[in-house]
Chains A and B, each alone.
Chain A
Amino acid sequence: MTTESAPKAGERRSSILRSQYFGGILAIVLLLVVNLIKDPGYLSIGYNSANGALVGNVIDILRAAAPVMMIAVGMCLVIATSGIDLSVGSVMVVAGAVSMEFLSTAPDTVGSALLALGLALGLSLLLGLFNGFLVSVVGLQPFISTLVMMMAGRGVAKVVTGGQNTAASNGAFRWIANGYVFGLPVVFLLALLVVVLVAVLVRRSALGLMIEAIGMDPTAARLAGVNRRGLLMAVYSISGIMAGIAGVFATASVMTVDVSKTGDQMEMDAILAVVIGGTSLAGGKFNIAGATIGALLIATLDKTVVFLGISSSATPAFKAIVIVVLCLLQSKRVREAFLRRKSAVAAPQKEKEVVA
């Protein structure tokens, strides 16, 4: 037994090192180090006794990561079925718009906050279901189906608010994004909770296995009796709800929905987070932990750009560079080339030793 367990521990260590999202963790650490060089006090965390909150740059990053975490996890499942959900950003703005529009006239109570939440999530679920319907029943390509929803969603949001950037005030709703529990932002704790819930749902039931099966080989999965239609409906609905939660998070922090900015291009962040997390865009095996790390990286990157004072016009380029480097590091071919060079460098040295 002991002889068996010993190599296993080693295997586990090297599997963490080789795991697809190790690059993501490394990148987060590197970005933090860069910030630390700019300002040695970057990582310091203070305590605000007035509201019992921890304050600091890292806490800001966690708070900012919450919405991306949500849509990244939803996207991760969709991509595993070898689909894609381009509508998450638009579903976010729809969720934000209905909740703000509702709260702008509702009384400032916990009840109306819950009702607003229910409305937002219900509507997001419907939009997700519609995506699922287009993909699985009508049989449209996921790209087209969700592209349609991406355009329609923002339109719906504008209709809901009458084209205005509606603002509202509701203490309980605001608390979701700005409150603190145990010194940590509520919004991050909620996001973490949802991620864990989804991970448990997917991995403790057979949902994960079936999603992977239809993503890897739809024909074989069908003949094995897997209900592809139902699964796709479920997966796109989950993605819709996750986008709805993200929309609530994003609007609750400022208590305003910006119909043209809220959730704008967030689908790209979600896709990037999923890819950084080691889930292949071709579908199949997926990695929820990886997608979460990817989301944290995206948030860290956004904050770093601001902190380093990179001009806003250069921000996308900077982001692109970091992500390209990361993807290169993760690419099998680049890794192999790197290893080969390493061994090529090592080999001649050995020869020299022999000669000497």
Chain B
Amino acid sequence: MNAATSPIIEMRDISISFPGVKALDGVDFRLLPGEVHTLMGENGAGKSTLIKVLTGVYTPDQGSILFDGAPLVINGTADAQQAGISTVYQEVNLCTNLTVGENVMLGNETRGRFGIDWKRTHERAAEVLARLGLHDVDPRRPLGELSLAVQQLVAISRSMVTNSRVLILDEPTSSLDNVEVEQLFTVIRQLRSEGVAILFVSHFLDQVYAISDRMTVLRNGQFIGEHLTRDLPRHELIAEMIGKELSLVQSPAGDESRRDHVVGEVVYSASGLGRKGAIEPVDVELRRGEVLGLAGLLGSGRTELARLISGADKPDTGEVTVQGARVSIKTPADGLKRRIALSSENRRDEGIIRDLSVRENILLGLQSTRGWARPVPRKEADGLVDKYVRELNVRPADPSRPIRNLSGGNQQKALLGRWLATKPDVLILDEPTRGIDIGAKAEIQQQVLQLASEGVAIVFISSELEEVVRLCDRILVLKDHRLIAELDNDGSLTAESIVSVIANDGADADRTERIPS
């Protein structure tokens, strides 16, 4: 970065408060043209708030924003867009029922004599898509037919129609696989070379180090530091983010204790459990005190299997025995009755109920197992809520707050509290640590081991194979909707060995094209 380059965005002394929380406290931030700048921090550090100030969702209580050296007042998202600041959010905000071209050009359609000239609009869309290397995407196809990754790229194309000079990418990679991430990064590099300033937010350290030139670290709403990526080793970055001594960072929670707990009797067993189009029939046994990992790529069938075990989806085939009794589990309510709880991978849409309070969210599961006619007595409810808020370290520790106001990690902890309140024998955690910060992640991992030592049978699903290897006693490897291996984690297992199991499977069955690189 040469000194002559002046920042395109300069935020000075930004402060903003919400009832009871100082979300940003005198934060400075600058963004240079032609750089990828990553905003780092734990959940609740203020990253999202800072972005929302920049995009006009929030108006700061104090502080100023300079755009290209001139003061910029942003009163609403339209102002930000007008100024040339575009945002692509974690969840794709596009209309899947419209065509790619319509999505890209929405609001900027080319107009002819008789209203919108759809032919030229689609041509223009194709030009923009081509600029981002999406030559092979037909702008007349419905967006819904494309993969999530391509949709993400279409969302970026959309912001390029207006020749934005600043592009904000808020967790764009959280639902993409490695190949798709690389595709996205190619586009980001392309835009960077064109002089676009890119603000990037991600929880994946590997990705941050792969793509960003510079990073700004926030903690508890305060500015901690700005560094060139190449000058900041990972462990120093983590220490800055969580504000703890390095030694604490380097000994991840519970590493030494995995083998401590005793694997007990079988609480759940299924034979031939399957559902057409979701997963081919498999046999599963879950034992008290055991952490069973489900490993596989996105779409391998691991979530589908979890949903069948818990009753979230109805199995077509299979015989299920819980605690020695033959049962049929067709709905989540059936599952909870048999003390099987599933924490969905989709925290936002299938986990929390946004407008209910933390307290109500925690109690909902237990309450529904008891039925509406037997409300959880106030004293018991207070005790449970208090217990889980404290033990799981949910912050802010005010259970009357709507859960939507909590950061992702804290929502996840509150949800864990919901399932624990039902006293499960089997707890299925589908991606419990996705998109949450390192501190909360360690806390959740520690809880998993703690629960196992208390005799709960745990099913643990994660895209991060290192995490699976570290936590699980036994690992089922899935691929293409079927079980391909069962591995005992005797200490010699590594993430690489699981990858090679996945890669080598089916090499002799003409499935080579599916093997990940």
Q: Which of A102-157 contact B (CB under 8 A)?
A: none
Q: Is B139 an interface residue (CB 8 A)?
A: no
Residues of A near B336 (CB, < 8 A) are 225
Residues of B near A227 (CB, < 8 A) are 333, 368, 371
Within the assembled complex, what's the spacing in Å between the Cα atoms of A253 and B43?
62
Q: Which of A172-206 contact B (CB under 8 A)?
A: 204-206
Q: Which of A209-223 contact B (CB under 8 A)?
A: 209-210, 212-213, 216-217, 219-223
Q: Is B352 an interface residue (CB 8 A)?
A: yes
Q: Is A207 an interface residue (CB 8 A)?
A: yes
Query: B364, A213: Cβ atoms under 8 Å?
Result: yes
Residues of A near B373 (CB, < 8 A) are 205-206
Query: A213, B365: Cβ atoms under 8 Å?
Result: no
Contact flags B456-491 to A (C-beta < 8 A → 1, else 0): 000000000000000000000000000000000000
Q: Is A284 an interface residue (CB 8 A)?
A: yes
Query: B353, A206: Cβ atoms under 8 Å?
Result: no
Q: Is B418 an interface residue (CB 8 A)?
A: yes
Within the assembled complex, what's the spacing in Å between the Cα atoms of A210 and B353?
11
Residues of A near B335 (CB, < 8 A) are 225
Q: Is A289 an interface residue (CB 8 A)?
A: no
Within the assembled complex, what's the spacing in Å between the Cα atoms of A219 and B342?
13
Q: Is A224 an interface residue (CB 8 A)?
A: yes
- Shortest Cβ distance from residue B408 to the other chain A in the assembled complex, whole angstroms: 15
**Stretch among B2-10, B34-42, B64-72, B343-351 lining the A interface:** B343-351
The 5 closest A-B pairs by CB, nearest first: A225-B368, A225-B336, A225-B333, A206-B375, A207-B372
Partner of A219, one of B350, B368, B372: B350
Q: Which of B357-395 contact A (CB under 8 A)?
A: 360, 363-365, 367-376
Query: B372, A224: Cβ atoms under 8 Å?
Result: no
Q: Is A25 an interface residue (CB 8 A)?
A: no
Query: B418, A224: Cβ atoms under 8 Å?
Result: yes
Query: A285, B375: Cβ atoms under 8 Å?
Result: no
Partner of B375, one of A205, A222, A224: A205
Residues of B near A223 (CB, < 8 A) are 312, 332, 342, 344, 350-351
Q: Is A305 an interface residue (CB 8 A)?
A: no
Residues of B near A225 (CB, < 8 A) are 332-333, 335-337, 365, 368-369, 422
Give 25 CB contacts A-B under 8 Å: A205-B372, A205-B374, A206-B367, A206-B370, A206-B373, A209-B360, A209-B363, A209-B364, A209-B367, A210-B367, A210-B368, A212-B356, A213-B364, A216-B355, A217-B352, A217-B353, A219-B350, A220-B349, A220-B351, A220-B352, A220-B353, A221-B353, A223-B332, A225-B422, A226-B364
Q: Is the interface of A mostly helix, strand, loop or mixed?
A: helix
- Shortest Cβ distance from residue A233 to the other chain B in the assembled complex, whole angstroms: 12
- Shortest Cβ distance from residue A68 to the other chain B in the assembled complex, whole angstroms: 27
Chain B residue nearest in CB terms to A214: B353
Residues of A near B369 (CB, < 8 A) are 225
Residues of B near A209 (CB, < 8 A) are 356, 360, 363-364, 367
Q: Is A32 an interface residue (CB 8 A)?
A: no
Q: Is A54 an interface residue (CB 8 A)?
A: no
Query: B332, A206: Cβ atoms under 8 Å?
Result: no
Q: Is A231 an interface residue (CB 8 A)?
A: yes
Q: Which of A274-331 contact B (CB under 8 A)?
A: 284-285
Residues of A near B330 (CB, < 8 A) are none
Beyond A206-B367, A223-B332, whether A213 also contacts B353 by CB under 8 A is yes
Query: A220, B372: Cβ atoms under 8 Å?
Result: no
Within the assembled complex, what's the spacing in Å between the Cα atoms of A223 and B369?
12
Partner of A217, one of B354, B365, B370, B372: B354
Query: A219, B364: Cβ atoms under 8 Å?
Result: no
Within the assembled complex, what's the spacing in Å between the Cα atoms of A225 and B368?
6
Residues of A near B351 (CB, < 8 A) are 220, 223
13 more CB-based (< 8 A) A-B contacts, given A204-B375, A206-B367: A206-B371, A206-B375, A207-B372, A209-B356, A210-B364, A210-B367, A219-B350, A220-B353, A224-B368, A225-B365, A227-B333, A231-B372, A285-B355
Query: B333, A226: Cβ atoms under 8 Å?
Result: yes
Within the assembled complex, what's the spacing in Å between the Cα atoms of A204 and B376?
10
Within the assembled complex, what's the spacing in Å between the Cα atoms of A223 and B312?
6
Within the assembled complex, what's the spacing in Å between the Cα atoms of A204 and B372?
10
Query: B372, A206: Cβ atoms under 8 Å?
Result: yes
Chain B residue nearest in CB terms to A204: B375
Residues of A near B332 (CB, < 8 A) are 222-225
Within the assembled complex, what's the spacing in Å between the Cα atoms of A27 and B373?
37
Q: Which of B313-355 contact A (CB under 8 A)?
A: 331-333, 335-337, 342, 344, 349-355
Within the assembled complex, what's the spacing in Å between the Cα atoms of A231 and B368?
11
Chain A residue nearest in CB terms to B336: A225
Contact flags A217-251 to B (C-beta < 8 A → 1, else 0): 10111111111000100100000000000000000
- Shortest Cβ distance from residue B8 to the other chain A in the assembled complex, whole angstroms: 31
- Shortest Cβ distance from residue A225 to the other chain B in the assembled complex, whole angstroms: 4
Within the assembled complex, what's the spacing in Å between the Cα atoms of A226 and B376?
14
Residues of B near A217 (CB, < 8 A) are 349, 352-354
Query: A219, B355: Cβ atoms under 8 Å?
Result: no
Residues of A near B356 (CB, < 8 A) are 209, 212-213, 216
- Shortest Cβ distance from residue A82 to the other chain B in the assembled complex, whole angstroms: 12
- Shortest Cβ distance from residue B365 to the other chain A in the assembled complex, whole angstroms: 5
Residues of B near A284 (CB, < 8 A) are 355
Within the assembled complex, what's the spacing in Å between the Cα atoms of A219 and B347?
11
- Shortest Cβ distance from residue A7 to the other chain B in the assembled complex, whole angstroms: 12
Within the assembled complex, what's the spacing in Å between the Cα atoms of A63 and B351?
46
Q: Which of B278-334 contact A (CB under 8 A)?
A: 312, 331-333
Query: A216, B353: Cβ atoms under 8 Å?
Result: yes
Within the assembled complex, what's the spacing in Å between the Cα atoms of A323 and B364?
36
- Shortest Cβ distance from residue B389 to the other chain A in the assembled complex, whole angstroms: 18
Chain A residue nearest in CB terms to B334: A225
Residues of B near A226 (CB, < 8 A) are 333, 364, 368
Q: Which of B161-208 contact A (CB under 8 A)?
A: none
Chain A residue nearest in CB terms to B307: A223
Residues of B near A210 (CB, < 8 A) are 364, 367-368, 372
Within the assembled complex, what's the spacing in Å between the Cα atoms of A207 and B364?
11
Interface centre among A204, A205, A216, A220 (most CB of B within 10 A): A220
Query: B350, A206: Cβ atoms under 8 Å?
Result: no
- Shortest Cβ distance from residue B192 to the other chain A in the assembled complex, whole angstroms: 39
Residues of B near A234 (CB, < 8 A) are 372
Beyond A226-B368, A284-B355, whether A219 also contacts B418 by CB under 8 A is no
Within the assembled complex, what's the spacing in Å between the Cα atoms of A212 and B333?
17
Query: A220, B350: Cβ atoms under 8 Å?
Result: yes
Residues of A near B375 (CB, < 8 A) are 204-206
